[in-house]
A and B are shown apart, each in its own frame.
Chain A
Amino acid sequence: MADKLHFSLVTPEREVVSGEVDQVVVPGTEGDFGVLPEHAPLMSTIRPGWLTVIEGSDETKIVIRGGFAEVTPEGLTVLAEEAAVASELNADEIAQAIQNAREDAADADTDKQRETAQDRLEYLLVLQEAAKAA
């Protein structure tokens, strides 16, 4: 019986995390859910937010945006468009990016563009919060 969960977090550019952990809490579109070893197969989309990796008494917080989580008997795979480990964030850069995203949202011509900009803004706000906490 596997008592560890195989977890990997992948973004288009690289594999951010890959390894055996105790538990992962994923921000699903319909609410956060925790994944323990031997979880039933599940597919869920994710919303911008915190993903928490629990390993022993350590907790790593990762901010993710856009994508998808899949649980199979082999483990949990999260495909995210963007991911940032909370302790590696730079508050100034985020503030700048938020500024840009706000302007984008205001300048958007179509609903679709506005939606994208809004989505991005939401993600950045979560990032900012994360940076403050770290």
Chain B
Amino acid sequence: MDGIDRLLVDALQEGMPVCAHPFAGVAEQAGITEEDVVARLQRLLQDGSLSRFGPLFNVEAFGGSYVLAAMQVPAGDLEHIVGLMNGYPEVAHNYLREHRFNVWFVVAAADAGRAETVLRDIEQRTGIPVCRLPKVREHFVGARFAA
């Protein structure tokens, strides 16, 4: 990533306007064309510097459900079990962490019933209890990383 990439990532983390030419502002700031902005974004997505570009939906604002859950998966079974879990499109994020509870994942579904169905399914198919930790209250969500 060069200086212009960093400027783009920093600026576009904050979001962009909904308008005909949403990259015009950031292009001017970076001193490049809108076409260059798009080409750089394509490259940053391809090389994995960005994991996503687009609208970030808050599924709970339209009846959906978002549940954090944790499991204690034996190291030898990890690959198999993670493969099975990640096969569900509702498993939106999955992280391996250093703890007795080593697999931490988020189920995002259109409603609470569907989320619970996926969690129960994973529990039954793996035989490992799923510890459900849905949020009680959100104090802050503002992940920003200085590039």
- A and B are interacting partners: no
